[in-house]
Structure 1
Amino acid sequence: MNALPAWIDSDPVQELLNALVDRLDSAQTRGSAKAQAVSLSKALWPSFYSQPFESDREALWLQARELATLGLIALTPERAARATVGYDMSPKIGMPDPARLRAAVGRLERVKSVGELWREAVYTHLEGDESAKKVVSGYNIEIEGHSPVSIVQRINKLHSEAKTSGLLLREVSSRLFWGMSKVLDQRERLVAAVLGLDECPFPASPIQLQVNLSQGSTSGVLFVENAMSFEKAARRTSVEYRGLALVFASGFKASATRLRSEEGASLFYSRRGCMEPTEVARFEQWLFQGNQMPAVYFWGDLDWEGMRILATLRASFGNVEAWQPGYDPMRERLLAGGGHRPEAADKRGQRSIAATGCLYADAQLVPLLDTFGFVDQELFSL
């Protein structure tokens, strides 16, 4: 192959050739065998159109014609390739020899995207069947300083980690990924697919529940959304709390399915409440074994998030009711104009909910929120 002329390395010519190689790359990314010819335009060759004098533009067009003679590009129609000002004929530029074109700009291979490199590493190196590879390829895991291949090789070690009982998901992540504990967060489906299981065998970190058991026999459970409200309730001896086990439920964590398994929840009992072993055992039998409890309630902010927590608690615990002694005064404050709009309390992102499934909440609370706004739980104590 004859050496290319030195002027090919000039900035304007390299600009054009690189733009054409970009189109080759885009075509390959789409899975196309070749790139289509492209019209000469300012977007394709800015330097050509920015020339101040017509003679300069003619000189660049001459070089384009010579590129066609060298076989690096193709110019159509043919009369444009022969004319001094053929650029006025709306010519198109083709790429007849991609390999030579790439060599002219030193881009012998397309630079693959991060996603492509990840999928390639998964399908080449993951130990698993096609269904597992399909799932894992959908998770693009990037860790600075480590290649996709090395990350996939660490994922393969899930099989050996699964032989050790009692590991939590973040423990596994730390053991696999160079001490990084959060790599597998929200990637339980990946873990299950690699191991060929229906569910990830490694639980997330246990939910920590604070529990204040009633002095005397427990006749019900009250989930409390906010920490301050839980603390105030645990310090009071109001008749409304009598017989209730108070549980600090931090947002949606209280509605998680894993809350009902001993591996998924850690309980911390308040010294202010009852510590009798029989009452502790009764509470845990209800929580972990599904034993009956006469009544289960939820009390939190009177806003969309609070109502959503109530609905999801009902999905995990059955017939959970909004606690009327707590919500009634909040409702009265709303009706008296004492609520606040979502934007006033940084609650713009809350999504409305049509119904919780609780008759009291759906009839007395939910219909007020769009019209009267929200009320925070911390304003009220009994």
Structure 2
Amino acid sequence: MNIQEHVFRTRPRWVDEEPMVAGLLDTFLHKLEKGHRLTMRVNSKTLPELFDFDSGENKYLWSLVKSLNNEYHIVSIRYARNKPFQEPYDNAQLVFNEEKEELVREWLNRPALDPYALVWQDTLRKHKDRFEDHGQTLAEQMIRLPDQGAEQTLRAFARLGGELQKPITLRALSARCFWGDSKFLDHREELVRALYPSASHNLLPRPVIMTVCLSSKIDRVIFIENQDSFLALTQLDLDNTTLVYCAGFRGTATRVRERGKVAFTFFGNLPTPAQQQAFEQWWFAEDDNTSVKVRFWGDLDFAGMSILKALKQTFPDIDAWRTGYRPLLEMLAQRLGHEHESSGKERQKDPELTGCELADLELLPAMRESGEFVDQEAVLVGELEI
């Protein structure tokens, strides 16, 4: 084997570091063994990590999937015709290259005769009556955990049915059934619902908590990425301006404008019932008030622009707040920013287009040209031209 071939066959480190990639490859091997079609549609059910905008990892994870195509030719990608602000991978079709089966098995340390799969199927036959779907979903979707065997993993899934006999959150359900790990089911809610469809009504929604500094009248709403900048702005007398601390990607959750799926905590003076009602009617789009100007101010980096892009999915009228970004642009022009790699932001991916004119025509081009970022905390609120 020559050096080039050895490098090509060596398992990339990110296969071990990113469970989504290993899970994707494992799914294709499972389809191959079952004689199923070697294709997969990319959506929030098949690859939920790509649609978890709270994490900020979706761009990086998609770049890894693309490398499976571009560098290793393990999968090919057929893109769908998407609307302007959809993610490019939304509804794309992944097609597995059968000629790469041996390579993928070597990467995953999964020989063609898979002892784990044999134990999984045997255990599933014994416990199938404990699942409402008689284990069909788990027969098609095998779960491999590095610290647990097939039998222990399936017994944990079988415990879900008993816990779902009473109202419970997904995090609590996960912690009670999966060795105290409250986050194990974070991207597996659809799997739980498929296993126990009639009991799933007992899954309690986990609301997103948003911190709001509410003005008596709402002419403008500004979403602010970072806590220090939010707290500083609350000290200013901003006429008829409501401030929302979106805590990075938290405010981009698609459910954030649905009643029962968001909870507000109010900063400063408590609003009157009438003020809170007016705000919530706007937030949940229950009135015809389209005159409210919605703005976003965050770091002048690719992650900040990705937050803006994601916010546009739930708040279509939102744009970058020029007043906040003007001094950041000036600092960038003076070469007072930090380089991507030196700040630990090398994994941030350029969102390319956000749908906001200021961001797409000024902010993103300035970052690309300079190769630098500036965090919003660099601006003191007294320096804003308000």
Shorter-chain TM-score bucket reads 0.5 to 0.7
Equivalence for 2:193: 192
| 1:340-380 deviation line (CA, Å, top 9, x unaligned) | 21122211110011100011211111111111221110011
Deviation at 1:119, TM superposition (A): 4.7
Deviation at 1:269, TM superposition (A): 0.5
Contact 1:135/1:190, CA 8 A, preserved across alignment? no
The one of 129, 133, 137 aligned to 1:132: 137
Equivalence for 2:65: none
CA distance in 1, matches of 2:204, 2:249: 17
| 1:223-274 deviation line (CA, Å, top 9, x unaligned) | 100010001011122xxx3222111111111100122234332211012x56
Equivalence for 1:229: 229
> CA, structure 1 residues 349+150, in 2 after alignment: closer, same or farther (shift >3 Å)?
closer
Deviation at 1:131, TM superposition (A): 4.7
> CA, structure 1 residues 132+255, in 2 after alignment: closer, same or farther (shift >3 Å)?
same
Q: Percent identity?
A: 31
CA distance in 2, matches of 1:212, 1:168: 28
Map 1:50-199 to 2 at 5 A.
Answer: 113-114=115-116, 116-122=118-124, 124-126=126-128, 127=131, 128-129=133-134, 131-137=136-142, 139-141=143-145, 148-165=150-167, 167-196=168-197
Deviation at 1:333, TM superposition (A): 1.9
> CA, structure 1 residues 142+122, in 2 after alignment: closer, same or farther (shift >3 Å)?
farther
Equivalence for 2:295: 297
Extract unaligned runs of 5+ from structure 2: 1-31, 34-111
CA distance in 1, matches of 2:295, 2:226: 14
Map 1:1-382 to 2 at 5 A.
Answer: 113-114=115-116, 116-122=118-124, 124-126=126-128, 127=131, 128-129=133-134, 131-137=136-142, 139-141=143-145, 148-165=150-167, 167-196=168-197, 202=203, 205-214=206-215, 216-237=216-237, 241-271=238-268, 273=269, 275-291=271-287, 292=289, 294-372=292-370, 373-380=372-379, 381=381, 382=384
**Secondary structure at 1:223's aligned position in 2?**
strand
TM-score normalised to structure 1 length: 0.62
Extract unaligned runs of 5+ from structure 1: 1-29, 32-109
Deviation at 1:308, TM superposition (A): 0.4
> CA, structure 1 residues 282+152, in 2 after alignment: closer, same or farther (shift >3 Å)?
same
Contact 2:135/2:195, CA 8 A, preserved across alignment? no
CA distance in 2, matches of 1:132, 1:172: 19
**Secondary structure at 2:212's aligned position in 1?**
strand
> CA, structure 1 residues 129+324, in 2 after alignment: closer, same or farther (shift >3 Å)?
same
TM-score normalised to structure 2 length: 0.61
Deviation at 1:301, TM superposition (A): 0.3
CA distance in 1, matches of 2:324, 2:164: 46
CA distance in 2, matches of 1:119, 1:252: 39
Contact 2:302/2:350, CA 8 A, preserved across alignment? yes
| 1:143-194 deviation line (CA, Å, top 9, x unaligned) | 65xx5334423423434444433x2111112333354423312222321221
Deviating 4+ runs (over 6 angstroms): none
**Secondary structure at 1:266's aligned position in 2?**
strand
Q: Which residue identity is paired with 2:172?
A: E
Q: Which residue identity is paired with 1:286?
A: W
Contact 1:192/1:201, CA 8 A, preserved across alignment? no
Deviation at 1:142, TM superposition (A): 5.7
CA distance in 1, matches of 2:219, 2:278: 11
CA distance in 2, matches of 1:136, 1:192: 14
> CA, structure 1 residues 251+206, in 2 after alignment: closer, same or farther (shift >3 Å)?
same
Contact 1:213/1:246, CA 8 A, preserved across alignment? yes
Contact 1:204/1:264, CA 8 A, preserved across alignment? yes
Deviation at 1:219, TM superposition (A): 1.4
Count of paired positions: 265
Across the aligned residues of Structure 1 and Structure 2, the Cα RMSD in angstroms comes to: 2.9
CA distance in 1, matches of 2:378, 2:169: 38
Deviation at 1:140, TM superposition (A): 2.1
**Secondary structure at 1:308's aligned position in 2?**
helix
Contact 2:205/2:260, CA 8 A, preserved across alignment? no
> CA, structure 1 residues 306+141, in 2 after alignment: closer, same or farther (shift >3 Å)?
same
CA distance in 1, matches of 2:310, 2:249: 8
**Larger relative contact order (Cα-Cα within 8 Å, sequence gap ≥ 6):** 2
> CA, structure 1 residues 136+164, in 2 after alignment: closer, same or farther (shift >3 Å)?
farther
